[in-house]
Structures are given as C-alpha cells and as structure tokens.
Structure 1
C-alpha cells in the first residue's frame, strides 16, 4: 500500500502516512489500536479508490479526444498523430540504419526528439489499447464508482 501512496502523493506524503501507521502500532490498548488500524486501512483504500476513479475518468476523456479526432472532417485532423510518428520513425531509421549503412557520419539526436518519440509511441499504444478495451472497461469502472 505504501508504494502506491508514494507513487500518487510523493515521498513526503508516503513518509507521513507510514509514520501515522507506525504511531498506531505503538498504541498499547488493543481495542483502540485495532479501531485505529481499521480506520487507517479504510482511509488508504478510499484514497486508492479515488485515485482509480480519477484514472478511469482521465482514460475516458483521453479516449473521447482520440475518438473525436478520428471522426473529424479534415484529413489532417484524423491523421496528424500517425503522420508525426511516421516522421519520427523515419528520423530514427535514417540516422541509425540508413546513414551508417552508407558509411556516413551520424548526428546525435536531440533529447527532445527522443522525448517526443517516447510520448508519441506511448500515447499511440495506450490509445489503441484503450480503444480495444473500452467496451469491457466501462462496466468495470461503473461498478467501481458505485462501490467508492
């Protein structure tokens, strides 16, 4: 649980929450201790549930954006992401396959190009995956939302 909190809220919050848990563990009265431990665990689970609900809404909104782009009237609106990725992949292919094959010196690609490629490929893969699982994911998110 603490790893999950650390990822969401950061190191400081993780340490604070762990300190609360450690303080509860030092309480001598067993009834009070059990009650506090139970409430502590409930709060952690509520936080995880709220985070998962947030992630679900975020994925849903990202899916709607991609869907609206793919249904757009303009060719550019529908195809700008794949075109950008093709250009980036051509840059990598040219710099690391084609140019060395002909014995020409390669140029060092700027970190910004790599970041753009990472974000683009990650977004494209995530978007396509989300497209494929949206029908199955929606009922699960609706059920989770009702429980939280």
Structure 2
C-alpha cells in the first residue's frame, strides 16, 4: 500500500477502515470502489507529507549552500570525506599495513554512518544528474 501503512499505528487504522467498509457495504463492487478510494486518499496524504518533507530538506540544503560561513557551506562534504577516509583506512590502508606487519587498528564505522555515506553519495549523484537534465531542458 503506502508508506503510511508501514507505520504500525497508521497501518492498523487503514486496515480497520478497509474492514469497516467490508462490514458496512454489502455490494462487493461498491465496497471495492470505496476501498480503492480510501487507499488512494491515504496514498495522496502520504505523498503530500513526503513531498513537503523533501521540499523542506531541499530548502535547508539550499540555505546552507548559500551561507556566509565556509563551515556552513561545506560541513556535509567534509562529513562525507571523513566517512570515506574511514572506509579507505579499513579496506585499503589497514589491510596493507597488516600485510607488512605494521600494528594498525581499523576504525569502527557504525551501520548508520555507512548508510549516511550511501545516502550522501547517492544524493550527490542524483543532484548532479538533475542539474544536467535541467540544463538540457533549458535549451
């Protein structure tokens, strides 16, 4: 169904609503139409909420990019570089140091930081692609 149904409370409410339609409407075709309309309304509400959140996040990133401070403009790329440095240490530098007998310690990279890096890199790739597509449409 929708992302809203992935939230246990909201999903339960939607399922109850669909169950109530089944109980109150005897005509199966009419019940199916009402259930489809109910699900459509839930998905539209879900889409509106997600779209509003994405727009708010985009405004925050745009405001940061136009900020006066170097740190304000660059903290996200710096964070990505730190995470990439940890990954490079753990998968490139550390194995070679161990191979040559140098005592080294791998750096811990929590799962959430790994996910953050994937989102950051993915967002950068998507953002650059969108910029290129926008340039094509402007012409």
Does the pair score TM above 0.5? yes
- Larger mean CA deviation between 121-130 and 56-65 belongs to 121-130
SS in 2 for 1:119: helix
Distance 1:120 1:43 in 2: 38
**Aligned residue number for residue 117 of structure 1:** 114
Distance 1:12 1:54 in 2: 14
* RMSD (CA atoms): 3.4
Distance 1:55 1:5 in 2: 9
Q: Does 1:100 align with 2:95?
A: yes
Structure 2 residue corresponding to 1:83, chosen from 56, 67, 78? 78
Residue correspondences, number: 128
- Choose between structure 1 and 2 for higher RCO, CA contacts under 8 A separated by at least 6 residues: 1
Task: Flag structure 1 segments of 5+ consecutive residues without an equivalent.
Answer: 137-148
Q: Does 1:42 align with 2:40?
A: no
Which residues of 2 match residues 1-148 of structure 1 at below 5 A? 1=1, 4=2, 7-10=5-8, 13=11, 17=15, 20=18, 24=22, 29=26, 32-103=27-98, 104=102, 107=105, 109-110=107-108, 112=110, 114-126=111-123, 129=126, 132=130
Task: Flag structure 2 segments of 5+ consecutive residues without an equivalent.
Answer: 135-139
Deviation per CA, 1:101-144: give whole Å up to 9, x if none: 122455454353x41232243045336635727x98xxxxxxxx
Mark the CA change 1:123 to 1:98 in structure 2 (over 3 Å): closer, same or farther: closer
Instruction: Give the alignment's TM-score, normalised by structure 1.
Output: 0.66
Distance 1:69 1:129 in 2: 18
- Residue 20 (structure 1) shift: 3.9
Instruction: Give the alignment's TM-score, normalised by structure 2.
Output: 0.70
- Larger mean CA deviation between 10-19 and 61-70 belongs to 10-19
